[in-house]
Amino acid sequence: MEISAPNNKKITGKDQAPLHVKDLGKGSPVILIHGWPLNGDMWEYQINALLEAGHRVIAYDRRGFGQSCHSSVNFNYDVFADDLNEVIEQKNLTGVALVGFSMGGGEIARYLSKYGSAKVSKTVLIGSILPYLLKTDDNPEGVPEKTFKDMIQGLKEDRPKFLAGFTKDFFGVDLAHALNPPVSSEMMQWSQFMAFQASAKATIDCVTAFGKTDFRKDMAAFKVPTLIIHGTKDKVVPAEVSGDRAAKMIPNAMYRRYDGAPHGLFITHKNQLTEDLISFLGKN
């Protein structure tokens, strides 16, 4: 079911692939772009808070994830940026704020690079992969390629087992937190359930997409006010590789480092995140 306001128009990609879109409330529009391997439901707490602050909130499932089309298309950021553009165009949005978590930051960067910022008011990058994760000769502080190869191998051999382990890293659950975990076991189960809704192909292909796509040239397209949020204990997308560097590349960006926060800070630090989002995006 697609929940939509003020209209109930079905949204499709350029290739007519159906995209599942939640469109709630009225006011200044905000698009929430989810991370890997989840879907738009990950934004549950932020959606409610933004609605209460008077925003129109749009959250969609990336193709291959959640209830969007599980196609066999190549899953890459040019396709993802085109899908974001179709959401903006088919919803007739202007002055829209774009909020991207993890690999969702890549959609924002590539969209701005391809389509410009004329219809965008602000951007927010949360635990984002920008500007470039892969370790190369000209990106020595990046993540070794073996890390992404191991992820793909683990997904191919036993996707449920791999995702169960990944969820622990995602939320910072380790031996040090055994007696007082940062999230409940039920919350981790919910996260895994969202991950299982994605197609195996999309889940695997997106590891290559977010791990090996170089966004350094796209960074110059950030010409609107930008808020960057990153956890200092993020084991999935280390702040030193991403948030710290993105903050230096985007002029006048506001940077918030959440002390002790893991990758999944949209749950573990949801109140702090809500406060920062509403402060930056404003109330209506």
Residue-by-residue DSSP string for 60-99: EPPTTSTTS----S---HHHHHHHHHHHHHHTT--SEEEE
97's tokens: 């704020």
Torsions phi, psi for 176 (to 5 deg): -65, -20
Burial (CB count within 10 angstroms: exposed 0-12, middle 13-18, buried 19+), residue 148: middle
Q: What pLDDT sits at residue 281? A: 97
pLDDT by residue for the chain (284 residues), tens only, comes to 333 444 456 899 988 999 999 999 999 999 999 999 999 999 999 999 999 999 999 999 999 999 999 987 889 999 999 999 999 999 999 999 999 999 999 999 999 999 999 999 999 999 999 999 999 999 999 999 999 999 999 999 999 999 999 999 999 997 555 557 889 999 999 999 999 999 999 999 999 999 999 999 999 999 999 999 999 999 999 999 999 999 999 999 999 999 999 999 999 999 999 999 999 999 87
Maximal C-alpha separation, the chain: 50
E strand or H helix that includes residue 227: strand 226-231
Task: Please state the length of the chain.
Answer: 284
Compute the half-sphere exposure of residue 202: CA atoms within 13 Å on the CB side of its CA: 27
Contact residues for 136 (Cβ-Cβ < 8 A; gap 6+): 142
With 0.85 as the threshold, say if the pTM is over it.
yes
Domain boundaries, the chain: 11-281
- According to DSSP, the residues that pair with 229 across neighbouring strands are 126, 256
| 3-state class (DSSP) for residue 28 | coil
Single-letter residue type at 75: F
Torsions phi, psi for 246 (to 5 deg): -60, -40
Beginning with the edge strand found earlier in the chain, give each strand of the sheet holding 120-126 in spatial order: 21-24, 56-60, 29-33, 96-101, 120-126, 226-231, 254-258
Q: Contact at 8 Å (CB) between 65 and 163?
A: no
- According to DSSP, the residues that pair with 258 across neighbouring strands are 231
Q: Which residues are catalytic?
A: 102, 234, 263
- The 3-state DSSP composition of the chain as helix, strand, coil percent (nearest 5) reads 40, 15, 40
Single-letter residue type at 92: N
Q: What pLDDT sits at residue 179? A: 57
Cα–Cα distance measured from residue 63 to residue 66, given in angstroms and rounded to the nearest whole number: 8
Q: What pLDDT sits at residue 181? A: 81
Q: Contact at 8 Å (CB) between 59 and 91?
A: no
List, for residues 221-233, the tens digit of each pLDDT value: 999 999 999 999 9
Domain spanning 11-281: CATH 3.40.50.670? no
Cα–Cα distance measured from residue 284 to residue 282, given in angstroms and rounded to the nearest whole number: 7
